[in-house]
Amino acid sequence: MPPGSNPDAFGVRIGPQALESGETLPEATIAVQTWGRLAPDRANAVLVEHALTGDTHVIGAAGPGQPTAGWWPGVVGPGCAIDTDRYFVVATNALGGCRGSTGPSSPAPDGRPWGSRFPQISVRDQVAAEAQVADLLGINRWRLVVGGSMGGMRAAEWAASYPDRVQDTAVIASAGVAAADQIAWGQAQILAITGDPDYYGGDYYDRGVVPSHGLGLARRIAHTTYRSADELDRRFGVVEQAGEQPLRGGRFSVEGYLDHHAAKLVGRFDAGTYVALTRAMATHDIGRGRGGMAAALSSYDGGLHVIAVDSDRLFPVSLSEELVAAHGTGDVHVVRSPHGHDGFLIETDQIARALSTALG
């Protein structure tokens, strides 16, 4: 499935984007998908923010143009915590993305893919773009902005950038500022991609090749950080992949598992976007230029609901505690899960219960 084709989303053109880097994107489009109806008082809009390789397909089956089923079934939908019979639910593909929003694979003004010319973007730039989408949709204030991982970064940035435009914010398996450990893991993933000879410095789009080896390697590194060491040990142990012998060049079962996830991502995601978004996550800091996290959140008097997964080794609970401390109210809601960071996608019952409480 070529990146960019998401048949259920529509594009919102937001024009030139002045970026934190000092560069300007001359034109940008953000892919948007919605569910439910906007109430006459426009007070029921919920923004759902996806993680690194997610998109606007929050719920729904896989099918033509949708390589995977929606990533948050049971959390969003009729009768769910984010009840589409009650709320107008909006999902945006992040700026820099490859599922309908402007990113490295999109055409630049000269008609050629942006590739290496795509400017560096930040989470703050992504949120500024989403605020322009909200303006165009007639949404002045979100009832809730919610997301996990990179989506949680955008949710936290919304509270800091637009404190008057968010009633409640839910930041899940995420942080107010990237940690050195995350930047380190991200560097290895970026180098895996940029070191692939098929990457061509980012300009592979019109060469008929994709850096699939590098992207697959990046996914293997990332996916290992998305799951807990305990879970991997318990699930896979030191068992060989069916029909293979590790002593004779064959794989272990856990290697087969990572190969599988690598191949799936390579089939559905763009390497240039992976680099751009990983870089955006590394530079995430709601306190940048604002005197730190606490100062950044000082104007936000909405609800801040911070949810962490107890076995998350990539975004440990302590990062959520720092965000709560910076805001000065509330507690971290801890989800119990053996699955690590991906718990925010898997433990949907617990996430849904926490969000139901947040929405009251």
Ligand X SMILES: CC(=O)SCCNC(=O)CCNC(=O)[C@H](O)C(C)(C)COP(=O)(O)OP(=O)(O)OC[C@H]1O[C@@H](n2cnc3c(N)ncnc32)[C@H](O)[C@@H]1OP(=O)(O)O
Ligand Y SMILES: N[C@@H](CCO)C(=O)O
Catalytic annotation, residues:
149, 312, 341
Compare residues 35 and 71 and give the one whose CB is closer to ligand X.
71
Measured between alpha carbons, how far is 82 from 8 in angstroms, rounded to an integer?
Answer: 19
Going by the DSSP 8-state scheme, the letter that residue 207 receives in this structure is G
Residues in the chain: 360
Residue 296 binds which entry of ligand X, ligand Y, none, with Cβ cut-offs from 5 to 8 Å by kind?
none
* CB contact at 8 A, 285 and 294: no
Residue 88 sits in the site that holds ligand Y (CB under 6 A): no
State how far the Cα of 297 lies from the Cα of 158, in Å rounded to an integer. 10
**Which residue stretches of 81-211 are H helix?**
123-137, 150-161, 180-194
Residue (198 or 255) nearer to ligand X, CB:
255
What binding mask, one character per residue, do residues 298-337 give for ligand Y by CB under 6 A, x or -?
----------------------------------------
Residues in contact with 281: Cβ distance below 8 Å, sequence separation at least 6, in sequence order:
52, 123, 150, 153, 178, 182, 186
Closest CA to 345 of 315, 323, 302, 325: 315
By the 8 A CB rule, do 350 and 326 touch? no
Smallest separation, CB 170 to ligand Y (Å): 15
Cα 80–Cα 82–Cα 88 angle in degrees, nearest 5:
125
| 105: partner contacted, choices ligand X, ligand Y, none (Cβ within 5-8 A by kind) | none
Site residue total, ligand Y (CB under 6 A)? 8
Q: What is the Cα 359 distance to its own chain's centre?
A: 22
- Select the residue interacting with ligand Y from 35, 87, 88, 226 (CB under 6 A): 226
CA–CA gap between residue 193 and residue 189 (Å, rounded)? 7
Q: Which residues bind ligand X (CB under 6 A)?
A: 50-51, 53-54, 68, 71, 241, 253, 256-257, 260, 264, 342, 345-346
- Of residues 52 and 306, the one with the C-beta less far from ligand Y: 52
Using alpha carbons, select from 182, 11, 178 the residue that is nearest to residue 106.
Answer: 11
In whole angstroms, give the CA distance from residue 342 to residue 338: 10
- For the CB of residue 4, give the shortest distance to ligand X in the complex, in Å: 16
Q: Is 52 in the site for ligand Y (CB under 6 A)?
A: yes
Is 206 annotated as a binding-site member? no
User: Smallest distance, Å, CB 112 to ligand Y?
Assistant: 28
Q: How far is the CB of 217 from ligand X (least distance, A)?
A: 16
Q: Residues 99-138 vs ligand Y: string with x where CB under 6 A?
A: ----------------------------------------
Annotation: binding site: 219, 342
Positions that interact with ligand Y (CB under 6 A): 51-54, 149, 226, 341-342
Summarize the annotated binding site for substrate as residue ranges.
219, 342
